[in-house]
Structure formats: C-alpha cells, structure tokens
Structure 1
Amino acid sequence: MKREHIPDQSKAPIYEALQTFRQMRVVPFDVPGHKRGRGNPELTRFLGEQCVSIDVNSMKPLDNLCHPISVIRQAEELAADAFGAAHAFLMVGGTTSSVQTMVLATCKRGDKIIMPRNVHRSVINALVLCGAIPVYVNPEVDHRLGISLGMKREQVAKAIRENPDAVAVLVNNPTYYGICSDLRSIVKMAHDAGMYCLADEAHGTHFYFGENMPVSAMAAGADMAAVSMHKSGGSLTQSSLLLTGPNIQEGHVRKIINLTQTTSGSYLLMSSLDISRRNLALRGKEVFRHVVSMAEYAREEINAIGGYYAFGRELVNGDSIFDFDPTKLSVHTRDIGLAGIEVYDLLRDEYDIQIEFGDIGNILAYLSIGDRYQELERLVSALAEIRRRYQTDGSGLMNQEYIDPEVVTSPQEAFYADKRSVPLEDSVGKVCSEFVMCYPPGIPILAPGERITAEILDYIRYAKAKGCSMTGTEDPEIERINILAEEVR
C-alpha cells in the first residue's frame, strides 16, 4: 500500500479522537443506553468514569470499524507500518476472529488447506463455517516433553506435492510452547506452488518488535497473519490485529470481516490497540529485551531447583524446531511426578499464582511487558516448595500430548450431520461430531469428523482425572459424546 508520508508512530488517532470527543460534552441520544455511565452508576463505580465515558457508538468524528475512512483508517495505517504489513485491520472479536477471517478469505467449500493438527480450535471452526478440507501435516512429538513440534520442511513439501490443488498452507508461529517452524521456507514452498501462506501468530506479537526473535510472518513474506495484541502486546483482552501482505486485496478481506464481526465495535478495545501499537513502536525493543532477560533468568533458576526442565533454545534442531521464542517460560514437570495441570492447580490454590495453563506434562508461565523480577522470584520459590512438598514417583504418568487423528469426513459435514449421543465407552471406532479439548490451550483432542480411538478416550479420561478444564462437548461432564448417526467408512 503506497503512503504519501512517513507515518508518525507517536500518534494514536483513535485515542486522540476520543480525548477530543470527551471534551465536547455531546448530549447522547444514541446507544449505548448507559449514556456515558449515568444510567448505570454501579457499573461506572466499578469500571470508572474515564472508562465508561468513552464506551460510545460509531459516529462521524470517531469513524466506523465496518468502513473506516478517518481515525480508524489512520490507526490501521500506523499499525501496518509498525508491523511491516501492506494493511492491518483492527479486530474486536479476538484473534479467533482474525484466524477465521484468514481462512474464510482464502478458502471456500471443498478447498483443501494444509495445516498442522495442533492448531487452535478457531482454525477448525473456520473450516466448519466455510467447508474447506484440512490436510494435516502431523508434527513430530518430543516424547520426553510430550509436546508437538513444528512442521518439518519435508513434511510440508510432501503435503504440497500430494495436494497440488490445495489453496493455502497455515503455520503456527509460534506454538503455545514457543516452537517455531522454518517459516521462510514454508512461505516459499507455498508461493512456488501457487498457494497462500497464513500464520497464526496469536503468541507472536513481540516477534515484530524484539531483537533476536524468530522471524515474524510479515518479514517472512506470509500473505496473512493473525496477531494477538492482547497477549504479549499489552492491549485489552479480545483486541487483535489481522495483518495482510501485498498480494491480498484489502476490500475483499474487509467484506469477510464484516460477515461475522460486530457492527458495534468497542472503542475501548480499538483505543487499546491504538495505544499499545504506539507503545510497542516507540519502546518495543527495550521492553522485550527486558522480557527475554527475565525469561532467561527464570529458566536458569527453575532448572537449578532440580526435577523441573524449563526448556529453551537448546532444543533448536533447524527443522521441526527451527527456532524458539525466548520469552516463553515453558516448564516440564513430569520428572517430579506431577502432571502440569497438578502444578498449575497447586500454584493457584496454595500460592495465589495464576499461570497461563498446565497440561499433561508441562506448565506455561506467560511473560510479557507487565512482568517484574519480584513476581518471577515468587514463582521460582513456589515451584521449589512444590517439589519439596509434593514430589512423587512419576512412573504412572501419561507422556503423550499429541494423538495422530484419522480424519474421516470434513469438519463442516460432521458438525452439521445427524448425530446421536453415546457414553464415552461406546464411542470407540465411531466418528466424532463435536470438539473435545483442554482449555487453555484450546487445541482439540478430537475435532468433528475424526474417528474416536481407545487411545484418545484414555487420554480424555486421564486429562479429566488430573483436573484439566475440558470443553467443547454438549455434555458438560464429558461422560457422553456426540457421534455421527450414520456410519462413515
């Protein structure tokens, strides 16, 4: 996108417009109905007058997210410049909305899309909506850690050779645990085959601003990237960015966004994106240098405890682990005889420490711009005490995080097909018609259209017994599961 002037990253157009609007003392005969908080004093006391007074509706001075022409447009142009994209879209439906827009903008019913199986549920939900067919590149597994890795170059090349009619390749950059694939090579392979390359960068905002980070999607030449500004970028929860490269038509993407995104875009979320982009553009290098330093300190201290393994760049092998996100504080816990979810629960219940998630064998403490050394020291001390108090024999712990699924039918066909509910134990060999997942991280154990196996059921029961938060099924207790009413072979 051509720009007639050099963007001034010290500007925050939406924030500045809201400040001006606040001083105008406009009488509101529009929505929202709380009328700048006057109609809901309890809410105003809770959130503060500063906040509710700018919870306003679209109007000429403040632009319109569905068709931006002034301050929102300017904020998007500044974001595009900061992230090195041809265009950036402010998203108020979370990165789920950004991911689904990427898929819906490039795929239609019957199209194939190449992707790793360890994608977030939002990707498979997008396939339910558009009817595209997943071609899974099943990632290698680190059996010691029990985590899925990145996509190997040869795996992607093989998938492209065997599916020349696929329209896109989707890559996690990085995974929840900080693992990165060789994104530049994958982008080149996709483009050489006439396919788009899409990147789920929900956990990679800092790649655009930090030093010595893994390559960002836009720098690698990807066509679209979904970026969770609210995760490591400091904006409010549910605010996100969708970045596009020069080969993507802006108007088409806007039409796709407007299919599902609200027509009442939150100015709290949009202004938080605007302010956070400015902060990162002006101070991002310094901020993330500090975050990396904290993460390296924490890894060293946790590994000195014994029994834990806080893993990092020593895992890099140049292919399935092409690079590693140095801000990720991922810790393997099985060697002290505890599942990650058990350590997660102990940290919260016994030590008032809330980490991002725990799974079968690992925990993740999410470090970003708001963390300080004193809280890290508290975390390290708590982990040392947990080892001392609760360490046990871990020989009976399950060690596999990833189960290779058999895809029988498309997610859309399975989701909308006639279905019946059966007890878990009666579902072996049947085709699942709903999701089963631990959240976080939200990577499906089962997705619609996949065959249920005894191994998968063992994993589900084990995860439940260890206290994982299981979601996705109609039955909240996950004692029953929906399967296709008619057998599919």
Structure 2
Amino acid sequence: MEEERRNLEPGVGRSARRRKEASEPKETGGGSRRDDALTQERAPIYEALEAFQKMRVVPFDVPGHKRGRGNPELTKLLGETCMRLDVNSMKPLDNLCHPVSVIADAEQLAAEAFGAAHAFLMVGGTTSAVQSMVLTAVKRGEKIILPRNVHRSVMGAMVLGGAVPVYVNPAGDKRLGIPLGMRVEDVRRAIKENPDAKAVFVNNPTYYGICSDLRSIVKLAHEHGMLCLADEAHGTHFYFGENMPISAMAAGADMAAVSMHKSGGSLTQSSILLTGPGMSAGYVRQIINLTQTTSGSYLLLSSLDISRRNLALRGREAFKQVVELAEYARTEINRIGGYYAYSKELVNGDSIYDFDVTKLSIHTRDIGLAGIEVYDLLRDEYDIQAEFGDLGNILAYLSIGDRQREVERLVSALAEIKRRFSRDKSTLMDFDYIEPIVAMSPQEAFYGEKESLPIRETAGRVCSEFVMCYPPGIPILTPGEQITEEIIDYIAYALEKGCSMTGPEDPGIERLNVLK
C-alpha cells in the first residue's frame, strides 16, 4: 500500500482517479459534505463559504468588525467580499483545531493531491508547520541531525522544545558563496556518531534551489530507526511539475512542511503540513494545537483549498510555463555578462544532487556588487522587488503568476545596473560558510542568565539570542553558539552592505546578549 502511494504521479491521488465518475458539486447549506464524492475538482471550504454567504446569518460572534460594517476603512481597502468571509469557526464551517466536516474534507483532498497519508492546513505560516514537525519528532534533551543552513523556525522549535542539534555542516561553493546540500556520507557519519538521535532534518530545496539526495537520506534515517523531516517551504511545485526534484513524500519522508503561499499561489501565511503513513495524525494534531491559533482565518483556509484544487487540476501545465520562463531568463541574464544565473550544470550527484530550475538564483560579485546591493538597486531604481539579496547573490522568485514581460523588465534592469553601477570586485569581502561552535542547547542558552555587551566585545562568549539576515532567515548566530571574530566581521560587513538584520534584542545590532 505504501509503495503504491509513493508511486503515484505528482498531484494525482485516489480522488483524482475518480474524476470521470464524479458528479458536479451540489449546493447545500454548508456543514458536512462527506457523503458527496470528494474529487480534486472540489474545494470544500470554498463551497461552504459560498453557501454560508447565502444564509444571511446575523453575527453575534467575533470578529468584531461584523462583516466589515464596524471598520469601513478596512472594508474599502480589502473589499466587501473579503470582509464578509472573515468569519469565525461555526458548525457549517467546521473547526481547524478539531475538523470533522469541510476542513477535514479539504485536508483529505490535500493529502491525496500531495501523495501523503495526511495533510494539515496551517494558518501560522510554514514556520508553524516546521516547528510542529520538530516538536512532534524530538523531545527535550533528544538529538536531531540537521544542516546548519536551516530556517530560523527550526532553531525556534529547539528553543521551545529543548531538542539538541547535531549539525552536519553543508558543503559550500566558494565562488558563489552559498551553502550546498548535505552529503550522504556526512549524514551517515553523524548517525554513526549519534545513534540515539531521533530524527534527520533536510532542506528540500534550499533557498538557492540546491537539493540533497533526499531518497538516500530517508533510507539512512529509517535504517537507524530515525524519522526524516523535510522543510519544503520552497518545494510545493515538486509535487505537481514535470521533471522536478523528488518531493519529500515521494522519497518516503515522514513529515514535510510545504509553503503553499510561496510557489503554490495561496495567500501569505498559509501552509500545509504533510505526514507519511507511519505518523499518528491525532498526535500531530495535538502538537499543532499547542501553538496554532484557535481562530483559524477562513481567508487563509479557503486560499489553501482553492490553490490545492488549482494545482491538482492545472499545476503540471502551470509549472511547465514557470520552468520555460526561468530558463529563458537564465539564458538572457547570462548573455549580459558579469552575472551568473546558475542551474543544473552545478549538479555533482552529492552535495548538489539535484537543482530546482524554477529558482532564478543570480551571482552578482563579478560586476563588483554584492547581491544585497543589486537587490536594493532593483527596488529603488527600477521598482522591481526581488525575493532577497545576500553578499553575493540575488533570488528572483518565479512562480505561476509571472509573465514574460516582467522577466524581460528584470533582464533589462540587470543590464542597466551593470552598465551604470558595476565596479572593481576586489573591493568586496571574500566569505565562506562559517562552521558553528556549539557550546550548549539553544533552549538552555536562550533562557540562561545573560548580559548585554557591545558586539565587538563578545568574541569568545556564548550567544543567547538569534542574529540573521532576513530574508532568507537563516541564522548567522543562534543561542548556544560561540561568537568569533570572523562572525563579528561578517555581521559588520552585512550591515555595511545593507542587509536587513533581525533577531537581537538591540534593533541596531550594536550590542548582543551573551551568557554570563
């Protein structure tokens, strides 16, 4: 049964195979629809909201704007339909904390579309989904094996739950200045040295589009009685596109956090948590309910429902167009000279096992500009908002809403930036991945007795807070790591180049909290 589930084509579940037999959706007064045929053409939450609008219910519940009447300025901004659908949980609309009708149906359809045993609709972003994964898999004092270049949400989960990180330092590309994937041999070594670890955590893909050998890592973890968790914040399209890197569920991972709002088209902050057949859905729900709101937004929930339907029915063709746009953009940008828009030519079968070709990652240092400088110029001079810029690269995020005219505008702007602003690249600082020195668990350090010092006086001390550039939100320092002169220099240089730094209690990043 499990093998059959894993062999399903992306975006094709049991319900999709029943499409030809499905009848047209029937209008009802809302509530449970579990007696109707559930197919991928359905959107149960959306259908229930449509039916609810016709019921003319008088609201003596929250939210207090009462369908927008109490906040006309907000209604003018967002529109009457949006405000009417911003409602509270009730019998016709189910309850996110304990779904039994339309939300349960929507989760069933999502599970089938993604080839998972179960899916949970998340309204706290993929941060909430990632933290639920970690809190499910690893208890206080237990070890989790993971790469250091994970999102801050993973570190936050360890602060909350008390798990102990065992880092597999990712390989790095010195030219591009980016961390790569986890090498299978490094994961094997970490498992051998930490046989008591409970889980292995993998990025699939990284922000830059780099994929590890996920299938082999899952196999290794399972052979040693460990769970495998995947951060697929940037991998929704793996489940629906053609010739994509393998998805976590297809690789046999136990849990995956998927940002539907990134490449899947749903509203910001909406996400999906997927689990494999070996996980207890009831226990996972209990963990989710520790931190997720009891007032789930039906705007976010309906956006997940509608977006899942869209991808299940039209995702293959939509992501084919995204790939074509990305390949066109890469070709044109590389023709400019000085920039390097990289792709599958980086694949080495190990630390870069595969590459997500929808990621338009562009190296900028050869024109003498840091990625964050090109990022700022695109926004300030050309009204183009890239996803992020670091010290050597920018990421232009392409997805189902992009068109060729916007890509051509980006290419033209990059050509003009090179002509107007390029300079000698010898002025740029060389940088590489900095291996962390872990002194204690993130939880112990975060809640430990601390003092605030000028950042230049913190070398050799143990950090008790986070420091990161956002986006992408990968920590430079996490609680429990030793601060070094190299890290201090890196922070100073990133600030000088204009990176947006977050995490510390001091918003000016002039002081850091360290353990006494």
Aligned pair partner of 1:31 in 62, 70, 77: 62
- Normalising by structure 1, what TM-score? 0.98
Partner of 1:143: 174
Whether the 8 Å CA contact 1:37–1:53 is kept in 2: the answer is yes
Q: Deviations over 1:424-452 (max 9, x none)?
A: 11000000000000000000000000000
Measure the CA separation in 2 of the matches of 1:45 and 1:438: 35
Partner of 1:205: 236
Measure the CA separation in 2 of the matches of 1:156 and 1:464: 33
Which letter does structure 2 place at the counterpart of 1:43? L
Aligned pair partner of 1:11 in 25, 42, 50: 42
The question of 1:48 aligning with 2:79 is answered yes
The question of 1:173 aligning with 2:212 is answered no
Partner of 1:463: 494
Which letter does structure 1 place at the counterpart of 2:466? F
Which letter does structure 2 place at the counterpart of 1:464? L
Q: Deviations over 1:372-397 (max 9, x none)?
A: 00000000000000000111001131
The alpha carbon displacement at 1:400 in A equals 2.2
Measure the CA separation in 2 of the matches of 1:332 and 1:207: 24
Measure the CA separation in 2 of the matches of 1:4 and 1:388: 54
Measure the CA separation in 2 of the matches of 1:398 and 1:168: 37
Q: Deviations over 1:161-216 (max 9, x none)?
A: 00000000000000000000000000000000000000000000000000000000
Partner of 1:192: 223
Partner of 1:340: 371
Partner of 1:349: 380
- Paired residues for 1:471-486 under 5 Å: 471-485=502-516
Partner of 2:327: 296
Partner SS state of residue 384, structure 1: helix
The question of 1:83 aligning with 2:111 is answered no
Which letter does structure 2 place at the counterpart of 1:421? S
Q: Deviations over 1:274-332 (max 9, x none)?
A: 00000000000000000000000000000000000000000000000000001000000
- Paired residues for 1:68-467 under 5 Å: 68-467=99-498
Paired residues, number = 485
Which letter does structure 2 place at the counterpart of 1:328? K
Change (3 A) 1:465 1:4: closer
Which letter does structure 2 place at the counterpart of 1:429? G
Whether the 8 Å CA contact 1:144–1:399 is kept in 2: the answer is no
Q: Deviations over 1:231-258 (max 9, x none)?
A: 0000000000000000000000000000
Q: Structure 1 vs Structure 2: percent identity of aligned residues? A: 76
Which letter does structure 1 place at the counterpart of 2:479? P
Measure the CA separation in 2 of the matches of 1:158 and 1:424: 35
Whether the 8 Å CA contact 1:171–1:183 is kept in 2: the answer is yes
Change (3 A) 1:441 1:401: farther
Q: Which portions of structure 1, spanning 4 or more consecutive aligned residues, are displaced by more than 2 angstroms?
A: 1-7, 398-402
- Normalising by structure 2, what TM-score? 0.93
Measure the CA separation in 2 of the matches of 1:398 and 1:309: 18
The alpha carbon displacement at 1:338 in A equals 0.2
Measure the CA separation in 2 of the matches of 1:264 and 1:421: 37
What RMSD over aligned residues (CA atoms) do the two structures have, in Å?
1.1
The alpha carbon displacement at 1:4 in A equals 9.5
Partner SS state of residue 60, structure 2: coil
Measure the CA separation in 2 of the matches of 1:396 and 1:411: 36
Partner SS state of residue 256, structure 2: strand
Which letter does structure 1 place at the counterpart of 2:121? L
Whether the 8 Å CA contact 1:361–1:399 is kept in 2: the answer is no
Which letter does structure 2 place at the counterpart of 1:129? L
Measure the CA separation in 2 of the matches of 1:109 and 1:39: 46
Measure the CA separation in 2 of the matches of 1:49 and 1:456: 50
Measure the CA separation in 2 of the matches of 1:365 and 1:126: 29
Partner of 1:67: 98
Q: Deviations over 1:342-374 (max 9, x none)?
A: 000000000000000000000000000000000
Partner SS state of residue 349, structure 1: helix
Which letter does structure 1 place at the counterpart of 2:182? M
Partner of 2:9: none
Partner of 2:28: none
Measure the CA separation in 1 of the matches of 2:479 and 2:376: 30
Partner SS state of residue 201, structure 2: strand
Measure the CA separation in 1 of the matches of 2:79 and 2:433: 45
Which letter does structure 1 place at the counterpart of 2:185? E
Change (3 A) 1:401 1:442: farther
Measure the CA separation in 2 of the matches of 1:171 and 1:209: 20
Measure the CA separation in 2 of the matches of 1:140 and 1:107: 25
- Which runs of no fewer than 5 residues in structure 1 stay unpaired? none
Measure the CA separation in 1 of the matches of 2:78 and 2:415: 38
Measure the CA separation in 1 of the matches of 2:435 and 2:336: 34
Partner SS state of residue 139, structure 1: coil
Q: Deviations over 1:392-439 (max 9, x none)?
A: 001131232521110000000000000000001100000000000000
Whether the 8 Å CA contact 2:14–2:112 is kept in 1: the answer is no
Measure the CA separation in 2 of the matches of 1:21 and 1:69: 17
